[in-house]
Amino acid sequence: MSSTKKKSSYEEPYIEESSMGDLWDLWMTELHQGKSGLTVKINGLVESYQSKFQRIDILDTADFGKMLVLYGSMMVADRDLTSYNEMITHVPLFTHPRPNNVLIIGGGDCGALTNVVKHPEVKKVTMCEIDKMVVEVCKRHFPLLTAGTKDRRAKLVFRDGKDFIAKGKEKFDVIMLDLSDPIGPAADLFQKKFHRQVYNRLNSDGILVAQSESPYFNPETVKQMYSNLRDIFPIVKMYTAHVPIYPSSYWSFAFCSKKYHPIDDFDAERYKRLRLKNNYYNADVHLGAFCLPEYVKRLIGER
């Protein structure tokens, strides 16, 4: 519903100047509930906008390169473009045998869209993003992420994702919820009512994948979300990825399916044939991502 991703920052970033001899350094800390955070050195502000929905900043950082920051949360950066986007897309697309029609809710940086169109089986992909300005800014600064917008199969819709799901009738093989934090307007998109509506927009063998926050920093949100999803879908599995600029750098995704199992139905032969030039995802990662630490298994009731 809100632009691009996901994150667990509930506060504005803390920016501090520190004196080091004759030099001044500028640092940004993204605070998590005021208790901890990730601090990055900033070389300068590239662009800053206030859209109808949020503040959009492009920062030049010392370690991660150019970075997109939305409402004070780090979203993507030159050195952190791939793991999240590759994992939210390739895992369901290599599990569903015929992912012809795909829907992305959110995903304003277009990284998910660009990975989806790498699959020749996809005949149509619709990306429903509420904030057009995020897409426009990312086209200027992250051309690798937004390359998929030029694909003839891609359709961009700038609309509230909740409204798009509730009022539409088109059915999809795979739906990806590439959403912002479960706070404010986006909170409704993490609720059981919305997930039931998404279920109804899937074909009889459809797959839903949703970003599901940090198991370490957001245990109550994660626990409730998986409980809700298991009341709706017969198959619900968590998988995880390393995302350096997200809280704890350990991020989770909910794989929810009406029919297909993410490991048993993984199409390894199709993966080999396609020969994707990924930076993070591969066949081993696909299978290994579903191996969870014991504390995470206890959290979501995994046996």
- Catalytic residue set: 178
- The token pair at 168 is 């539409």
Ordered alpha helix ranges (H), the chain: 83-93, 111-116, 132-141, 143-146, 161-167, 192-200, 219-230, 268-274, 283-288, 294-300
Other Cβ atoms less than 10 A from the Cβ of 18: the count is 10
- The token pair at 154 is 């891609």
**Whether 146 contacts 174, CB under 8 Å:** no
What is the DSSP track for 27-39? EEEEEETTTEEEE
Other Cβ atoms less than 10 A from the Cβ of 37: the count is 17
Burial label, 74 (beta-carbon count in 10 A; 0-12, 13-18, 19+): buried
- Separation of alpha carbons 207 and 17, rounded Å: 47
Other Cβ atoms less than 10 A from the Cβ of 77: the count is 20
**SS3 breakdown of the chain: % helix, strand, coil, rounded to 5?**
30, 35, 35
Where b means 16+ CB within 10 Å and e means fewer, 210-220 reads bbbbbbbbbbe
